[in-house]
Structure 1
């Protein structure tokens, strides 16, 4: 049912900054939100229906340098649409795990993986207190609130301390922590209704222990 909802209320289209990947994307946020509430009651904001700047930058980065993930296990934390997970799978990562707490997000990630002909495992859980090991941990646009940043950063630093390559994509959100290593900067096209601008300067950072 969730897969059907995703496909019925979005349009499959290439991602502006990562045209190798197509996603089921919303044409109108309000219309989609109202449809989700009508179908299943109160729902989280449908962040899964858009290609956010942080995810686009990360996806571009790993597709341009596939050796970062090829042949390695990858976790896409707070996957949203699954864009970064799909890009990692395209780049040769195996296995790829897409994690989120929103079941619609994971339905979208599954639909998007299938649409792109790649395999992605989905995990619906809060894993921020777990210590499962991955070769690479990727997180797009996770520093948008103080609470989220406060929970995510310790998880990412622990992963780096266990030897994971940890990369985050961030378009200058308010709670981006200090002490990260800049790896690349991109000007990413975004949905102006969401970001109040057509382009966001977005950085891929490496998190260390």
Structure 2
């Protein structure tokens, strides 16, 4: 994971290329979301002046929605605890943790534009979320009591870096929860399923109308 270089669009870019709305499975949370992924992808690359990965921050992915839903339905998981949201994207999971009563929430991303989106979205929901930009996967979760990750097992290289990070967090006493819609690289044998949700998704992104999505815990 390496942060992109070049000019960094501001929060104005997030606001002007998205609409404020609620994810289907988490109507309590407002996010700046895009209607069409390819168009936004092209506009983002034009603004940055070079090729970029898809704008993950502009969509409410199934793994994040399931995890956010689970936190809001079970606020005792994070209430009065220090929370760390890895690969936070739009900030949906971090915002849900804050709304559920976490004492402090940190959202981590490598994309500066995602960082802007998290800040804008947190403001729209009236919660405080600290944003950390950078690759933290060779480090640790900074003593967080709960570590969250939505939809991070989408490739082998990502899994090979994320899994050790999560295992280190668990070894230091953190509760580790992930949301996953059946990605191929999820190491299911290492996790315990705690809840399952049927999450409506964007057809253009998932080639499906819904994804059966599981919240897993690292025992």
TM > 0.5 fold call:
yes
**1:6 aligned residue:** 14
Paired residues of 1:63 and 1:90 also in contact (CA < 8 A): yes
Distance 2:109 2:194 in 1: 25
Verify the 8 A CA contact 1:86 1:120 in the aligned structure 2.
Answer: yes
Mapping 1:27-176, distance limit 5 Å = 27-42=35-50, 43-131=52-140, 132-176=142-186
1:192 and 1:207 map into 2 onto residues whose CA distance is 30
TM-score normalised per structure 2: 0.93
Q: Please list the CA deviations of residues 28-71 of structure 1 after superposition, one character each: whole Å capped at 9, or x if unmatched.
A: 11111111111111233100000000000000000000000010
Tell which deviates more after alignment, 128-137 or 18-27: 128-137
Note if contact 1:44-1:102 (Cα within 8 Å) is conserved in structure 2. Answer: no
Distance 2:103 2:48 in 1: 34
Bigger Cα displacement from structure 2, 125-134 vs 72-81: 125-134
Structure 1 residues 2 and 44: alpha-carbon distance in aligned structure 2, compared to 1, 3 A threshold: farther
Runs of 4+ with deviation above 6 angstroms: none
User: Deviations for 1:125-164, whole angstroms, at most 9, x for unmatched residues?
Assistant: 1111113210100000000000000000011011011110
Structure 2 unaligned runs (5+)? 1-8
What's the TM-score once normalised by structure 1's chain length? 0.98
Secondary structure of the structure 2 residue equivalent to 1:205: strand
- Where does 1:174-189 land on structure 2 (aligned, <5 Å)? 174-177=184-187, 178-189=189-200
Structure 1: how far apart are the matches of 2:45 and 2:159? 27
Give structure 1 stretches of 5+ with no counterpart.
Answer: none
User: Given the alignment of the two structures, is residue 206 of structure 1 paired with residue 213 of structure 2, yes or no?
Assistant: no
